[in-house]
């Protein structure tokens, strides 16, 4: 690749230290594997079904539509600023240094928690493949992550996976990209097979999604069907995030201005269509909707029941590969976000976090820190039966807040420049116009902000079934999402103020008032 095809980080005020080893498919794989419909659908199918019954399916197209709007906004920015640490960089350039710093701070914490939640998805798969993977407890009832034994075993499996993904991450971007690409190829093949095969083995028609059969209001303590549907949207919300990972790897991607916008949109659309069909096929092929197995064991139960021990376990092995690729991608994205902020001297220990290995061309220390942080998040919750539901809700709420840190200032910039500029397209590495929403940009951006705001409130709502399954109830667990996010902001504010008193945090970039300046052809 020529220098013109790969604009160096020096174009944005940074020294080019990261190595470009990410091609078009690997860029798509980074976003798709973060979303990872096999990982998250298998992990959360049972929860979504318990919360809303078969009708929980409708939360999927609603979330897909909202996240597609967000992805379109991100795609427009990805071509203009192909810099590592995308969410932090975009937010800072649009909203200013302080606003961008808090967005990046929330994003890092959210990514660390998401890495932890992705890793414990192995519990939904491995014990179903072989009972020997259930190290804690013995019966099949012990495998549910909502039970004490299932939660403990999930932590053991999750920490072991984090060790593996950390090793791969520190060896180099090419190794990470190759592992992710292979995982995504296997995942896409498995998804296609499962959709076709489950539809062929259907027990009922697509009308199953028109009623709430399987909904357990006594268990979830959610009596209203509307509130049940909102609660079950946690499943779809958790699945369809992370498409911005392609932007996180922009400095390591060939021809990023051309490649990254397309891969962001492709990751969302592929996941949205494929995941929706997989949900529908699973509901239609489930042996029963009322015997409790679908809510307890989720889609893994449907697969093993429909395909038998041999083929069913083989398919679950593909899911395990997808979990591995998902965890690897999430950890990589978190490491790049941390590196991007550290080279601005914007984080504690930045002198270490900003180092890039001259041998591997990767930020080794940030990869280790993200993996270690995720492992700690699991270990401190090893005795909690809400480890999965609570962590999943909190981490996705934090990612949604960070995404708002981009779309809100972007909308403000659009409105301010509505009469003076049309958000000029600029040009990619081939001299062609960059991805642009054109005159629809403001409308799409505004609807995306409204959707994100509603989802943040929905995800952080203190539902007992999500945040507190203790017998007698614990108030701080029920309100843990608001408490955790609030504490994170307070701690971040303390550091930011102290840092500003000694040395100002100021990004190396064009002023955010010039955010709409055209991007020249390389």
- Angle among Cα 337, 120, 241 to the nearest 5 degrees reads 45
pLDDT > 70? residue 6: no
Per-residue confidence band for 12, with pLDDT thresholds at 50, 70 and 90? low
Each residue's pLDDT tens digit, 413-468 = 999 877 655 555 677 777 788 888 988 999 999 999 999 999 999 989 888 777 77
Q: Is the pLDDT of residue 516 over 60?
A: no
Is residue 522, in this structure, part of any structural domain at all?
no
| Residue 115 scores a pLDDT above 80 | yes
pLDDT in tens, 207-266: 999 988 888 776 666 667 777 788 788 888 888 888 888 888 888 888 888 889 999 999
> For 16-20, 30-34, 426-430, 483-487, which range has the lowest pLDDT when averaged over its residues?
16-20
Domain, as residue range, for 209: 15-514
Look up residue 255 and give its two tokens: 């021809």
C-beta neighbour count of 51 within 10 angstroms: 31
Range 43-48 average pLDDT: 84
Neighbours of 344 (CB within 10 A): 23
Residue 19 three-state SS: coil
402, two tokens: 């960070």
pLDDT at residue 515, rounded to an integer:
45
Is residue 42 assigned to a domain? yes
Of 30-34, 191-195, 207-211, 238-242, the one with minimum mean pLDDT is 30-34
Mean pLDDT of 282-292: 91
Q: Is the pLDDT of residue 31 over 50?
A: yes
Residue 257 inside a domain? The answer is yes
User: For residue 119, what pLDDT band results from cuts at 50, 70 and 90?
Assistant: very high
pLDDT tier at 83, thresholds 50, 70, 90: confident
pLDDT band at 1, cuts 50/70/90? very low
Token pair, residue 1, equals 């690749």
Please report the pLDDT score of residue 468 as a whole number.
Answer: 73
The domain that contains 474 carries what CATH number? 1.20.1740.10
For 167-178, letters b (16+ CB in 10 Å) and e give ebbbbbbbbbbe
pLDDT score of 153 more than 50: yes
Mean pLDDT confidence for 339-344: 89
Residue pair 18/170 in contact by the 8 Å Cβ criterion: no
The verdict on residue 287 lying in a domain is yes
DSSP characters over 98-135? HHHHHHHHHHHHHHHHHHHHHHGGGGGTHHHH-GGG--
CB burial of residue 513 (10 Å; 0-12, 13-18, 19+)? exposed
Tell me, yes or no, whether 362 lies in a domain: yes
CA gap 409, 6 in Å, rounded? 28
Q: Band of the pLDDT at 3, cuts 50, 70, 90?
A: very low
Q: What is the pLDDT of residue 179?
A: 87
Q: Which of 111, 115, 90 is nearest to 100 (CA)?
A: 90
Please give the residue that has the higher pLDDT: either 51 or 399: 399
On whether residue 5 sits in a domain, the answer given is: no
pLDDT for res 15: 64
Banded model confidence at residue 273, pLDDT cuts 50, 70, 90: very high
Residue 506 has pLDDT above 70, yes or no: no
Q: Average pLDDT for residues 360-375, to the nearest whole number?
A: 92
Q: What is residue 157's predicted lDDT score, i.e. its pLDDT? A: 93
Q: Which residue in 168, 65, 50 sits closest to 451, CA to CA?
A: 65
DSSP secondary structure, 54-82, as one string: GGGGGHHHHHHHHHHHHHHHHHHHHHH--
- On whether residue 75 sits in a domain, the answer given is yes
Residue 387 clears pLDDT 70, i.e. is over it:
no
pLDDT (tens digit per residue) in 319-329: 899 899 989 98
Domain count, the chain: 1
Choose the weakest-confidence range: 16-30, 92-106, 121-135, 406-420: 16-30
Residue 38 is assigned to a structural domain of this protein: yes
Residue scoring higher pLDDT (342 or 26): 342
Q: Assign 513 a pLDDT band (cuts: 50, 70, 90).
A: very low
As to burial, measured by CB atoms within 10 angstroms (0-12 exposed, 13-18 middle, 19+ buried), residue 504 is: exposed
Residue 517 has pLDDT above 50, yes or no: no
- The pLDDT value given to residue 39: 79
| Per-residue pLDDT, 331 | 94
Question: What confidence score (pLDDT) does residue 511 get?
Answer: 40
The residue among 172 and 219 whose pLDDT is bigger is: 172
Per-chain mean pLDDT for the chain: 84
Do residues 79 and 260 touch, judged by C-beta distance below 8 A?
Answer: yes
Rounded CA-CA distance 31/9 in Å is 21
Q: Among all chains, which residue has been given the structure tokens 């999430």?
A: 330
**At residue 288, what are phi and psi to the nearest 5 degrees?**
-155, 150
Of 8-17, 119-128, 308-317, 349-358, the range with the lowest mean pLDDT is: 8-17
Burial environment of residue 501 by CB neighbours within 10 A (0 to 12, 13 to 18, 19 or more): exposed
Which pLDDT belongs to residue 217?
A: 72
Report residue 271 as tokens.
């996941």
């Amino acid at each position: 690749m020529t220098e013109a095809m790969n604009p160096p980080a020096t174009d944005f005020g940074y020294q080019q230290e990261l190595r470009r080893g990410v091609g078009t498919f690997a860029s798509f794989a980074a976003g798709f594997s973060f979303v990872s419909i096999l990982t998250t659908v298998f992990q959360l199918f049972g929860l979504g079904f318990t919360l809303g019954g078969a009708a929980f399916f409708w939360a999927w197209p609603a979330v897909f539509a909202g996240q597609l709007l967000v992805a379109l906004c991100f795609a427009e920015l990805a071509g203009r600023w192909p810099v590592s640490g995308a969410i932090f960089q975009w937010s800072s350039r649009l909203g200013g240094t302080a606003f961008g710093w808090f967005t990046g701070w929330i994003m890092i914490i959210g990514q660390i928690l998401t890495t932890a939640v992705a890793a414990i998805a192995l519990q939904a798969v491995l014990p179903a493949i072989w009972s020997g993977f259930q190290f804690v407890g013995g019966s099949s009832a012990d495998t549910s992550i909502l039970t004490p034994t299932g939660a403990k075993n999930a932590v053991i499996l999750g920490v072991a996976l984090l060790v593996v993904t950390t090793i791969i991450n520190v060896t180099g971007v090419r190794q990470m990209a190759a592992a992710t690409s292979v995982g995504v190829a296997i995942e896409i093949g498995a998804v296609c097979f499962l959709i076709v095969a489950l539809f062929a083995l259907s027990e009922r028609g697509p009308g199953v999604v028109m009623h709430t059969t399987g909904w357990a209001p006594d268990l979830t303590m959610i009596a209203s069907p509307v509130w049940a549907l909102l609660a079950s949207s946690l499943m779809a919300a958790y699945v369809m995030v992370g498409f911005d990972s392609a932007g996180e790897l922009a400095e390591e991607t060939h021809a990023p201005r051309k490649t990254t916008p397309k891969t962001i949109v492709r990751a969302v659309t592929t996941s949205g269509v494929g995941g929706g069909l997989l949900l529908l096929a699973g509901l239609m092929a489930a042996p029963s909707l009322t015997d409790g197995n679908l809510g307890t064991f989720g889609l893994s139960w449907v697969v093993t029941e429909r395909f038998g021990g041999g083929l069913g376990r083989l398919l679950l092995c593909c899911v395990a590969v997808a979990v591995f690729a998902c965890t690897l991608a999430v950890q990589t994205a978190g490491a790049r976000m941390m590196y991007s902020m550290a080279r601005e001297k914007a984080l504690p220990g930045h002198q270490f976090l900003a180092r890039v290995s001259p041998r591997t061309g990767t930020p080794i220390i940030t990869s280790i820190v993200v993996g270690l942080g995720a492992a700690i998040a699991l270990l401190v919750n090893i005795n909690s039966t809400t480890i999965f539901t609570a962590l999943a809700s909190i981490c996705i709420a934090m990612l949604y807040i960070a995404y708002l840190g981009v779309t809100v200032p972007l909308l403000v910039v659009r409105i301010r420049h509505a009469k003076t500029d049309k958000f000029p397209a600029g040009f990619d590495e081939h001299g062609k116009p960059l991805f642009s929403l054109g005159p629809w940009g403001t409308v799409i951006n505004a609807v995306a902000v409204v959707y994100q705001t509603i989802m943040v409130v929905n995800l952080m709502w203190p539902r007992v079934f999500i945040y507190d399954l203790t017998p007698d109830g614990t108030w701080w667990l029920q309100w843990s999402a608001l408490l955790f996010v609030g504490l994170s902001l307070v701690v971040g504010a303390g550091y930011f103020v102290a840092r500003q008193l000694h040395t100002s945090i100021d990004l190396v970039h064009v002023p955010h008032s010039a955010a709409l300046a055209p991007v020249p052809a390389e």
